[in-house]
Amino acid sequence: MRRDVFQAIADPTRREIISLLANQSLNLNAVAENFDISRPAISKHIRILTECGLVTIKQQGRERFCHAELQKLKQVSEWADKYRVFWTKKLDALEEFLEKEQSKKKRK
């Protein structure tokens, strides 16, 4: 099954893992220590993040370290920008309408 970035960030645990790894690389045990779920469940989330290209795993000796690949989130940002522009226009129009209504009330 092909996964994409949107599937990866749909889960709150995976979003939290990305946040943890955004600041530092951590081994799998260190990642798991931050959650109240099993190590196999964390491994599954890491696997999904890896399949989506949001996390890479590098072997260093006996440890496997996870690194966030945040540039992949640009795809999400670009998608959201389209809707940000749409809603900004709608909210600006609403603000203009409300200001006109307030002006009408003040004149009466």
Q: What is the count of structural domains for the chain? A: 2
Q: CB–CB of 47/8 below 8 Å?
A: no
**18 and 63 fall within a common domain:** yes
Each residue's pLDDT, cut to its tens digit, for the chain (108 residues) gives 567 899 899 999 999 999 999 999 999 999 999 999 999 999 999 999 999 999 999 999 999 999 999 998 998 999 899 899 999 999 999 999 999 989 888 887
> According to the model, what pLDDT value does residue 2 have?
66
According to DSSP, the β-strands at 55-60 and 63-68 are antiparallel
**77 and 55 fall within a common domain:** no
**103 and 53 fall within a common domain:** no
Q: Is 49 helix (H, G, I), strand (E, B) or coil?
A: helix
Gap between the Cα atoms of 89 and 92, Å rounded: 5
- What domain range includes position 83? 73-107
**51 and 65 fall within a common domain:** yes
Question: Tokens 């959201």 correspond to what residue?
Answer: 80
